[in-house]
Structure 1
Amino acid sequence: DGARPPQVFLGSHDPLLDWALRQSRCGIATYFDGSLDGLDRFEAGEGLASGLHIFDAAMDHWNLSAVQGRFAARNVALLGFARRRRGLILSADAPDAIREIADLAGLRLAPRQPESGTHGLFEHLRAAAGLAQDALHYCDPARSEADAVMAVQSGNADVAFGLEALARPYGLRFVPVIEERFDLLIDRRAWFDPPLQQFVRFVQGDSFARHAAGLGGYDIDGIGAVRWNP
């Protein structure tokens, strides 16, 4: 069935996932550059798992459409990791009246790169809110969740479409917009190897649950649930 993939986690960056990989001492490296990039690299055999949050507006669900056709013949499984609150992360100078995406006209947005799930989700919600693309001033793309928030914190942008868990440490205002599903596409062979098993044991423990609660904006009740098993 071929060689096992490298011990690398791909896909979209998630602060809770990143912390758990390091804290579990499982030895798995990371290369986070967006959900779509992660799927391409996973398909090419460059890693053992990929984190993703890709919204299918037509089907009104997360991640399934992105993997079902593409990986139906592969030895993979899609597992739940967490639900995350995403919304508007605003600078101290942003108007207090901002309550939704439609209120962002005229502001400087720190966007994500097109390969990220965040980019596609924001553009869908922006269009649904009736906000024209040219009503926003798009800054240079941020290649991670943290980079987008830091652009706001440093004053280079007025708003980012980011995670509540990252707004808190920077003391920035957060306006919730949507709860998204963050899942893990796993190579089934690697699942039974020591590194992933060590990671799995860690995320089932109390330390992980306490950290998730402390970050805020996470619901981990469905962690490890099988969402798709071709």
Structure 2
Amino acid sequence: MSSDISYTTEEIAKLLKISKLTVYDLIKKGELPSYRVGKQMRVDAADLEAYKQRAKGLQAAEQRPAPAEPVSFQPAAVGAGGTRSVVITGQDISLDILVKHMEKHTPGIRPLRAYVGSLDSLIAMYRGESDIVSTHLLDGDTGEYNLPYIKRILVGFPYLVVNLLSRKAGLYVQKGNPLGLKDWADLSRTGLRLVNREKGSGARVLLDEQLRLHGIQRDQLQGYGEEQTNHIAVAGTVAAGEADVGVGIEKAAAIVGGVDFIPLIEERYDLVVLKSAENMPWIESLMVILRSEEFRRELQSIAGYDLSRTGEILLET
């Protein structure tokens, strides 16, 4: 029976031909009632069908001449039970730990994870589709992480930028580094096979900035168009011998095994939140969590994290 059917956010995105971020935005606004099964959000088929019927009704109304009383659809600001969904974007495991602490210490909210790259996450925040954005975007001209991009994209918005952690980024190479790769300039070598990250990811921006700074043309790199959607997949492609080199973070190399890591840069991994009256209660809770010993202890158990600035406010507008 249809009442027994439910869908994941990925399945709904495919059915409606929209992005997963848009699905999270619909859930966040209360347009799609949802519930959690383990770490996964699900939506019942009946609720999805009800949403589709409302959307069709709205579309039909917009196509008719305007009636005397305007027809409008106002989504609920909060979900069932008075809880407010908070969309957190990014892929690092530290965010999963943060979600767990927010669920424990921040009543009235329901954290939703969206596994989206840094640049796309900031654009989603500009569109009102995300609440906590994690970002690690290098500006090659200044050597600064994140702030130049945030200032350009979130023009006119009041926001807070706070450090989550720092971590090493660099090159994945095959075990034993048979090609003797040492730094970014080595990417100019003829015949080198690359595996890339998707557009909008922090690793993709890091690669593109280093290619620009070192005068290396993208079309020189065999495999530049071969994309993976996370660090582990990039490291795994190199470990399998399907590529000679990829860009990513140290932790993924340790997880995958069979691949060596060449650290080349310390990247700052920051969180961005928009300041508003409705956000301030959970923002205050977020800051308490980031600065708590309980949260720090859990992050310290994971190798490769520098927590010396965790919880530090880097910019507030």
The verdict on a shared fold, with TM-score over 0.5 as the criterion, is yes
After the TM superposition, which of the residue ranges 79-88 and 14-23 deviates more from structure 2?
14-23
TM-score (structure 2 length as normaliser): 0.63
- Partner of 2:142, secondary structure, is coil
| Superposed CA offset, 1:80-100 (max 9, x none) | 111111011122274152211
Q: Which residue in 2 is equivalent to 1:88?
A: 171
Give the whole-Å Cα distance in 1 for the aligned partners of 2:217 and 2:312.
38
Q: Which moved more, 1:34-43 or 1:182-191?
A: 182-191
Report the counterpart of residue 159 of structure 2 in structure 1: 76
**1: CA distance, partners of 2:129 / 2:207:** 28
Give yes or no for the alignment of 1:49 onto 2:132: yes
Conserved 8 A contact 1:152-1:158: yes
Cα distance change of structure 1 residues 127 and 78 upon mapping to structure 2, 3 Å threshold: same
Determine if the alignment matches structure 1 residue 220 to structure 2 residue 284.
no
1:149 and 2:149 are equivalent in the alignment: no
Whole-Å separation in 2 of the counterparts to 1:107 and 1:16: 33
Work out the CA distance in 1 between the residues paired with 2:315 and 2:289.
Answer: 23
Distance 2:260 2:177 in 1: 9
* 1:133 pairs with 2:218: yes
Task: State the distance in 1 between where 2:179 and 2:292 align.
Answer: 40
Gaps of 5+ in 1: none
> How many Å separate the matches in 2 of 1:153 and 1:23?
34
Q: Which amino acid aligns with 2:94?
A: L
- Deviation of 1:69 after TM superposition, in Å, equals 4.0
Gaps of 5+ in 2: 1-76, 79-83, 105-109
User: What is the aligned-residue RMSD (CA, Å)?
Assistant: 2.7
Q: Distance in 2 between matches of 1:222 and 1:21?
A: 20
Distance apart, 1:198 and its partner CA: 5.6
Which residue number in structure 1 is paired with residue 116 of structure 2?
Answer: 33
How many residue pairs match? The answer is: 226
Measured against aligned partners, the alpha-carbon deviations of 1:130-184 in whole angstroms (never above 9, x if no partner) come to: 5443442215211222322232233332222110111112222111111111111
Give the Å deviation of 1:202. 4.3
CA contact (8 A) 1:109 1:136 kept: yes
Larger Rg: 2
2:174–2:238: 8 Å Cα contact kept in structure 1?
A: yes
Whether the 8 Å CA contact 1:164–1:216 is kept in 2: the answer is: no
**Does the C-alpha gap of structure 1 residues 229 and 202 become closer, same or farther in structure 2, counting only changes over 3 Å?**
closer
Query: Which has the larger displacement, 56-65 or 220-229?
Result: 56-65
Quote the offset at 1:192 in angstroms: 3.7
Change (3 A) 1:151 1:207: farther
- The Cα of 1:78 is off from its aligned counterpart by 1.1
- Aligned partner of 1:182 in structure 2 is 269
Higher relative contact order (CA 8 A, sep 6+): 1
Measured in 2, the distance between the counterparts of 1:135 and 1:94 equals 21
CA contact (8 A) 1:6 1:46 kept: no
1:16 aligned to 2:99?
no
C-alpha separation in 2, matches of 1:122 and 1:79: 24
Residues 209 and 73 of structure 1, relative CA distance in 2, 3 Å threshold = same
For the 8 Å contact 1:33–1:144, the answer to whether it is kept is: no
Instruction: Report the counterpart of residue 40 of structure 2 in structure 1.
Output: none
In the alignment, structure 1 residue 60 sits paired with structure 2 residue 143: yes
Taking the aligned partners of 1:108 and 1:225, their CA distance within structure 2 comes to 39
Identical counterparts, % of pairs: 25
The letter of the residue matching 1:14 is D
Structure 1, 171-180 or 131-140: larger mean CA deviation: 131-140
Find 1:7's aligned residue among 83, 86, 90. Answer: 86
Q: Distance in 2 between matches of 1:156 and 1:137?
A: 12
SS of structure 2 residue aligned to 1:168? helix
More helix by share: 2
